[in-house]
Structure 1
């Protein structure tokens, strides 16, 4: 067989769909994902799970879902593969200032908050930061608020995510132009450096304001974060069961400083209340401030 024929055969094999996932296999994968990271895969997302598993299994040459399940759960070796799989299942494409009303609310909130802080640093947190666009958007808002008030208050943004690959992308701070579609031209010039390949790099002065940490939100009780002035948790809670969403939000509420702002994705939770939080009067944003 010639090299060309061999490559053709491989291409055909790569495109061949794997067998459908059995109900038992689907159940096992669902339980694994919910137990380890809280992600709920309903029947309507079965094809999403199957497609992502199949893509990774082809790369490894694994023929069936049960064998791959055993590989992923096989001790330390499985932990490495599990980390790789998580990137496929959790990292979604996003952009800067993804939900504009949320950042408009933040822009209104920050000047008053900065006036309250005195010399204490402003602390912001992007929960489920993915590849960093939300975290850098928070940093830009803070930097702009300080420019407008000639303030000298230092600030820092903590960016956490379960995916180490996503955090590495955030640290690199380089993005294609399409991710900056919501960034005003003036802000592009101030906070980004144009690269030769139609990409943009976050300027070092802004990038230095961020710190990154790998965090599973199921482990929030052990997260050493407190006294946060701003917490953004958007497009993350949709993956969890209702009771777990409330549990996560209760943990985040505990980590807000008095007067701090918590911003949640619109529609991600219904009817949640916390005795220490007051809802923000804004029809376009789901947000709360901590009393006191």
Structure 2
């Protein structure tokens, strides 16, 4: 094809991509090209702006590492992560809602016994977390895998601390035969997402703050049930109404109860304050599908 212009280039690209034998890929690329070209036409994209965009995406890729995923951060802050989750995790009423995965998950978190302290020596206010894993019908789910991870009380995840020799503030547990789980950690606080890179510069240019409310990440898996990726947010935390990554759900906000002193759930007496949280997770069975309206 020769002499393509702003009126003919879109169809030319679509036709060139049509030779793929992967039907899903063809559908995705068809829509992507159409919307991308429509965007450029709608905003009358200049060459200077195109170059700025290319440099921005290049910088996003360059800052990524095994412990930092700037593209997930970009997706989160543009609301794309929440949109994809909402489209793909329509659940029956009563199931625990899913929310964003975040950029700080790792594949090889340590496996700990129930009741263990996953903070691994991080300083902070003790926090005792417990609850149950159930199905939508109320049936207990024994031995579910529960992966939890969090920031510390200064707002940093372990992978943001290059001098650490082992993981802190993350672990994999397994519920007991009655679907119960419990573990100890420290209370995380609200924190800013990493804003020293291109995504941070984007937020600054848009006059947006980078803060997230205090929360604890969970990923829960059990045979016969959909995997659940979610958070539990601290009630009364700052930024619940303006989460930088649009991840807050009312049903995921829970009361983190402060105790000035006393006997903690692990049986030890604490003369200083500690917190407790009890939260049950309701999983959706794999075969239950809710069709889009």
TM-score of the superposition, structure 1-length normalised?
0.24
Name the structure with the higher helix share. 1
Query: For the pair shown, which has the larger CA radius of gyration, 1 or 2?
Result: 2
